[in-house]
């Protein structure tokens, strides 16, 4: 029995897909990259922008002929296209879909696959655990265990309600996972050989705010830091308003917590920020970046930006340009504003920046950022940095620096899961090349 998973969107979806994979492997399925070979196909979808939604529909339609050829095939539509509020319309529109699952919930698929035919005691126990859901009981198995780096959700949903964003509607209100479940999952991953854990939440620095007597994110990092076998910890995505002193201290003090931050600014103009209901000003953001850099000088900071938000003028856009030019951040995830059904921006504002203009603004930031990143990365040339290697891609080992820079190294040795000092020999805006220090020593003879 085989399963095929197609995943789009954020790291949370990647983590959710890994969970579904684990659940299916518990039931005796093995993974295939070829949809036509599969007995179960899972489409884990994203709707954060129209382009993502279109892609999900396109992929779903492409599976229809497979279902016609093989009526026994189980098609599971999962994630933000399904959402948490019922799926009657989708069911009518896509009758060939067998199972609909909200984000982060393998339950409906497992229930569908195991109904009426529980074949072994092991299956019975697995099924009971999935169905009593208690989704926290889902323990990762082999598929995730082969990973060097795994994602662990710590906060589900989001209650912030930025005016452009559909995520709170599709993923539901903010729910932090109990600390015991998270640490148990990290221990289990460590026991299977995982070296790096990234804690996930839409606003990860709000972790624990909905649980009385539990730790906050700083406290959670301190607990995760104690887990033997885990060598690196990361967390994303942070919201500037919740990024507290204690979190900064935890990152600065704990050697396993990597000096890398994902903190979206979204726009550099205060009126636009207010219309987005982000809750801070560009000065607040600039001060936060200064504070972080003062405490952790060699850190890297990534941000997200939306261009062409309703009403964004040229002058307002140039504020965003200026903030990016001044702050010189390591990564900027750029997006063109996309109207999402049901959001405040769609109900109360006019999507009045043309597609061409959005594209022009996007390109300006892209070009600016490319230069900024080339300059930042250029400073790594000749430096020795500890790289955690993950996998071999097209003959080269792929790994990451503490600051999350992508590094490629040529080596015949098995570097998987190892942290080794590497000397950077070439840098570009998106990746770097390096030699392992032993190789470098040989070359210099
Ligand atoms: N929860 C995270 C990010 C979630 S979505 C946060 O708080 O930032 C990832 C990114 O998609 C967002 O940071 C934003 O830049 C972008 N995005 C969200 N809604 C969008 C929309 N309607 N149009 C364009 N980009 C959007």
Where a domain ends, among 361, 378, 395? 378
With a cut of 80, say whether residue 316 has pLDDT above it. Answer: yes
Query: Does residue 59 sit in the same domain as residue 151?
Result: no
**pLDDT tens per residue across span 221-263:** 999 999 999 999 999 999 999 999 999 999 999 999 999 999 9
Confidence of residue 125 (pLDDT cuts 50, 70, 90): low
With a cut of 70, say whether residue 439 has pLDDT above it. Answer: no
Task: Answer for the pair 223, 263: CB distance below 8 angstroms, yes or no.
Answer: no
- Which residue puts its alpha carbon closest to atom 3 of ligand 1? 202
Give the pLDDT confidence score for residue 445 in this predicted structure.
Answer: 47
Query: Does residue 113 sit in the same domain as residue 59?
Result: yes
Q: Is residue 92 part of a domain?
A: yes
Give the pLDDT confidence score for residue 321 in this predicted structure.
Answer: 98
Long-range pairs, 189-192, Cβ under 8 A, ≥24: 189/140, 189/144, 189/145, 189/150, 189/152, 189/230, 190/227, 190/228, 190/229, 190/230, 191/229, 192/140, 192/142, 192/144, 192/145, 192/146
Q: Is residue 139 part of a domain?
A: no
Mean pLDDT of 303-307: 98
- Which residue puts its alpha carbon closest to atom 4 of ligand 1? 202
Which of these ranges, 28-42, 109-123, 147-161, 421-435, has the smallest mean pLDDT?
109-123
Mean pLDDT of 35-44: 97
Tell me the best of 206, 335, 343, 353 to mutate to test the pocket of ligand 1, counting ligand atoms within 8 Å of each CB and taking the most: 335
Q: What is the CATH number of the domain that holds 12?
A: 3.40.50.12160
Distance 165 CA to ligand 1 centre (A): 6
Q: What is the CATH number of the domain that holds 166?
A: 3.30.750.210
User: Is pTM, for the whole model, over 0.85?
Assistant: yes
Mean pLDDT of 265-290: 98
Q: Is residue 91 part of a domain?
A: yes
**pLDDT tens per residue across span 144-198:** 447 899 999 999 999 998 999 999 999 999 999 999 999 999 998 899 899 999 9
Q: Based on the structure, what is the number of domains in the chain?
A: 4
Where a domain ends, among 343, 362, 378? 378
Q: Is residue 176 part of a domain?
A: yes
Give the pLDDT confidence score for residue 129 in this predicted structure.
Answer: 55
165 lines ligand 1 (CB under 6 A): yes
Where a domain ends, among 214, 243, 258? 258
Atom of ligand 1 nearest to the CA of 201: 1
Query: Does residue 184 sit in the same domain as residue 112?
Result: no
Distance 48 CA to ligand 1 centre (A): 7
Query: Does residue 217 sit in the same domain as residue 158?
Result: yes
Atom of ligand 1 nearest to the CA of 343: 22
340 lines ligand 1 (CB under 6 A): yes
- Average pLDDT in the chain: 92
Query: Does residue 408 sit in the same domain as residue 436?
Result: yes
Give the pLDDT confidence score for residue 247 in this predicted structure.
Answer: 98
Mean pLDDT of 50-78: 96
Q: Is residue 263 part of a domain?
A: no
Q: What is the CATH number of the domain that holds 338?
A: 3.30.750.200
Q: Is residue 351 part of a domain?
A: yes
Query: Does residue 364 sit in the same domain as residue 393?
Result: no
- Which residue puts its alpha carbon closest to atom 24 of ligand 1? 337
Query: Does residue 44 sit in the same domain as residue 104?
Result: yes
What is the 3-class SS of the chain, one letter each residue?
CEEEEEECCCHHHHHHHHHHHHHHHHCCCEECCCHHHCCEEEEEECCCCHHHHHHHHHHHHHCHHHHHHCCCCEEEEEECCCCCCCCHHHHHHCCCCCEEECCCCCHHHHHHHHCCCCCCHHHHHHHHHHHHCCHHHCCCCHHHHCCCEEEEECEECCCCCCCCCCHHHHHCCCEECCHHHHHHHHHHHHHCCCCEEEEECCCHHHCCCCCCCCCCHHHHHHHHHCCCCCCEEEEECCCHHHCCHHHHHHHHHCCCECCEEECCCECCCHHHHHHHCCCCCHHHHHHHHHHHHHHCCCCEEEEEEEECCCCCCHHHHHHHHHHHHHHCCCEEEEEECCCCCCCHHHHHCCCCCCHHHHHHHHHHHHHHHHHHHHHHHHCCCCCEEEEEEEEEECCEEEEECCCCCEEEECCCCCCCCCEEEEEEEEECCCCEEEEEHHHHHHHCC
With a cut of 50, say whether residue 133 has pLDDT above it. Answer: no
Boundaries of domain holding 411:
384-444
């Amino acid at each position: 029995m085989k399963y095929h998973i197609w995943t789009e969107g954020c790291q949370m979806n990647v983590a959710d897909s890994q969970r579904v994979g684990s659940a299916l492997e518990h039931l005796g399925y093995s993974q295939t990259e070829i949809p036509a070979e599969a007995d179960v196909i899972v489409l884990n979808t994203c709707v954060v922008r129209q382009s993502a939604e279109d892609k999900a529909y396109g992929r779903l339609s492409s599976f229809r002929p497979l279902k016609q050829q093989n009526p026994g095939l189980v098609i599971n539509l999962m994630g933000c296209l399904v959402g948490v509020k019922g799926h009657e319309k989708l069911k009518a529109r896509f009758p060939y879909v067998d199972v609909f699952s909200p984000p982060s919930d393998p339950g409906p698929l497992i229930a569908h696959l195991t109904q009426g035919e529980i074949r072994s005691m092991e299956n019975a126990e697995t099924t009971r655990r999935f169905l009593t859901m208690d989704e926290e009981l889902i323990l990762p198995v082999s598929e995730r265990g082969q990973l060097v780096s795994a994602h662990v959700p710590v906060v589900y949903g989001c209650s912030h309600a930025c005016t452009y964003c559909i995520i709170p509607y599709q993923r539901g209100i903010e729910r932090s996972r109990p600390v015991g479940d998270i640490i148990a999952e990290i221990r289990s991953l460590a026991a299977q050989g995982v070296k790096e854990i990234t804690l996930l939440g839409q606003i990860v620095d709000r972790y624990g705010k909905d649980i009385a007597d539990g730790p906050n994110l700083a406290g959670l990092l301190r607990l995760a830091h104690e887990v033997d076998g885990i060598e690196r910890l990361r967390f994303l995505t942070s919201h500037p308003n919740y990024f507290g002193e204690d979190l900064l201290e935890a990152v600065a003090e704990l050697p396993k917590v990597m000096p890398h931050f994902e903190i979206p600014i979204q726009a550099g103009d205060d009126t636009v920020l207010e219309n987005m209901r982000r809750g801070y000003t560009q000065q607040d953001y600039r001060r936060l970046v200064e504070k972080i850099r003062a405490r952790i000088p060699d850190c890297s900071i990534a941000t997200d930006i939306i261009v062409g938000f309703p009403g964004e003028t040229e002058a307002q856009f140039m504020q965003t340009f200026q903030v990016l030019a001044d702050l010189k951040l390591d990564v900027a995830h750029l997006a063109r504003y996309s109207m999402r059904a049901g959001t405040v921006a769609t109900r109360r504002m006019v999507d009045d920046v043309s597609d061409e203009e959005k594209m022009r603004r996007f390109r300006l930031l892209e070009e600016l950022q490319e230069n900024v990143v080339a300059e930042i990365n250029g400073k790594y040339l000749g430096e020795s940095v500890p790289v955690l290697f993950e996998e071999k891609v097209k003959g080269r080992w792929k790994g990451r620096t503490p600051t999350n820079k992508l590094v490629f190294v040529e080596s015949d040795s098995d570097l998987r899961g190892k942290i080794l000092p590497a000397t950077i020999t070439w840098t570009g805006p998106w990746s770097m090349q390096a030699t392992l220090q032993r190789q470098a020593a040989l070359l210099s003879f």
